[in-house]
Amino acid sequence: MKALTLTATLFTSLVLLPQASASNLEKVYGTGDPIPKPMIMNKFVEFTNARKPPELVFHARDGAPVSMNQHRGNLTLINIWASWCGPCLKELPSLDQMEKEYQGQPLAVVPVSIDEQSPDEVYKILANYQLQGIETLFDADHSMHGVMPVNVVPATYVLDGNGNIVGFVRGYLDWEDPEVAPYLDKLIAKYSAAKPQS
């Protein structure tokens, strides 16, 4: 019961944080015709205009800052998750496996924990779920919330080759579904290369 209360409290606190909106971000280019979605990608929203966020910086386990600018030239999936979120823990291994399968291609998968516990505590929880191979960054101060709404986890935000946000999916997604890879291939082809900036 205590765990349920804690989960409810954390979820409520996320919902009550000031809500960000993609509409507040600068539009940098029109994304053209949307890629036709298979049913499994129904929850994915592809923007009609790429949006320029401020530089996204999270923290490694040792506290060192890690800028998402290092992933320029890739389609980057920032997966926001929390250790108290069952669907998040279910989704992490499939994202990790997907990144391995795309090794050598312009795709980066970046898990970012919004847990308020210490990174060491989060890694202990991952180990308890046999997920000790998962590497994650941390956003304990919820800086992502100033860019996009993070009131639902898991949530995955998609960045183009210049670091602009081009889409997102909120909630659990079965990344192992056979229809995901062909759609992801099209996203990579469309967005991993640098785009002209206005």
Q: Is 13 helix (H, G, I), strand (E, B) or coil?
A: helix
pLDDT tens, residue by residue, 114-156 = 999 999 999 999 999 999 889 999 997 788 887 877 788 999 9
DSSP E strands in the chain: the ranges are 26-30, 45-52, 57-59, 65-67, 75-81, 107-113, 137-138, 155-159, 165-170
Compute φ and ψ for 37, nearest 5 degrees: -100, 135
Contact in structure between 109 and 91 (CB atoms under 8 Å) = no
Q: What digits encode the pLDDT tens for the residues 79-121?
A: 999 999 999 999 999 999 999 999 999 999 999 999 999 999 9
* Interacting residues of 171 by C-beta distance below 8 A, sequence separation 6+: 43, 87, 152, 154, 155
- pLDDT bucket at 52, cuts 50 / 70 / 90: very high
> What is the model's pTM?
0.86
Alpha-carbon span 198 to 174, nearest angstrom: 35
Q: 151 and 15 in contact (C-beta within 8 Å)? A: yes
pLDDT digits (tens, 9 = 90+) for 14-38: 433 334 455 688 999 999 999 999 9
Tell whether the torsion through CA atoms of 185, 189, 194 and 198 is positive or negative.
Answer: negative
Q: Helix-strand-coil percent breakdown of the chain, rounded to 5?
A: 35, 25, 45
pLDDT score recorded for residue 23: 61
Mean of the pLDDT values across residues 144-171?
Answer: 91
